[in-house]
Amino acid sequence: MTTALITGASNGIGLELAKIHASKGGNLVLVARNKSKLDELKNELEEQFNISVYTIGKDLSELNSAQEVYNETKKQNIQVDYLINNAGFGGFGMLDETEWNKELQMINLNITTLTLFTKLYVQDMVKRRSGKIMNVASTAAFQPGPTMAVYCATKSYVLSFTEALSNEVSDKGITITALCPGATETGFQAAGGLDESELFKGKKLPRAKDVAEYGYRAMMNGRTVAIHGFMNYILSSSVSFMPRNLVVKVARKMLDKK
């Protein structure tokens, strides 16, 4: 029976990933700020699937949080077979007008915490010569994003980091996957102030459940880069053939509010 550690598991794609892994008979370590929500999910999944769920309430934008979670799993003698770095958030606005503290938290969560989680658990996986890691990036990773400059840059890091690490461990029995969803029906757009942007307004978006199912299959199949949705795949792939200044202009048009 495998154990998956999932960050940002209290809602959206992380919540759906937890349900999928539980439905396959796997145990879980769920991490998010809202421990009460995690505990509700724990009770639901344990009762429905007869598995074990361990919850950790932690603000993963704090610098030492990944080490603290790792130490807790070691203390509880929990072997993490699958690591799913799903936690992350974005923000909208011109860099000269946005709040630095929020951007610093975004960088800490989307980059620093994700990297340290990966480093800590991949070391154990290398010793066992088995394990899977999925880092949730975004189609935003494929181009700069004016008005979301920091967010897009952090997701670009996640994609590049994942592809490099996938190569490093390819002969060690471990697979690393970057899941790249496009706009998805979650609370992300509301939290990021993007409800009125061209990217979201009036669009029928994929469900978090559909994205999670796609990502979980990609992780299990050992795919390095998994872009959800045919049009997202086409658009992300076409970026490399377009002049960079045009890519930035198109991205600005998509992210601007109507």
CATH number, domain of 83, equals: 3.40.50.720
pLDDT bucket at 237, cuts 50 / 70 / 90: confident
- Among residues 58, 155, 157, 216, the one annotated as catalytic is 155
Dihedral pair phi/psi, residue 146, rounded to 5° = -55, 140
Can you give the pLDDT at residue 187? 60
Of 83-97, 123-137, 239-253, the one with minimum mean pLDDT is 239-253
Can you give the pLDDT at residue 195? 54
More confident residue, 168 or 246: 168
Q: What is the mean pLDDT of residues 91-104?
A: 94
Number of domains comprising the chain: 1
Can you give the pLDDT at residue 3? 98
201 counts as catalytic = no
pLDDT bucket at 23, cuts 50 / 70 / 90: very high
User: What is the dihedral sign for C-alpha 21, 23, 28, 31?
Assistant: positive
157 counts as catalytic = no
- Among residues 82, 151, 157, 216, the one annotated as catalytic is 151
Residue 67 confidence (pLDDT) above 60 = yes
User: Which domain, by its residues, includes 208?
Assistant: 3-255
Can you give the pLDDT at residue 205? 86
| 26 in Cβ contact with 1 (< 8 Å) | yes
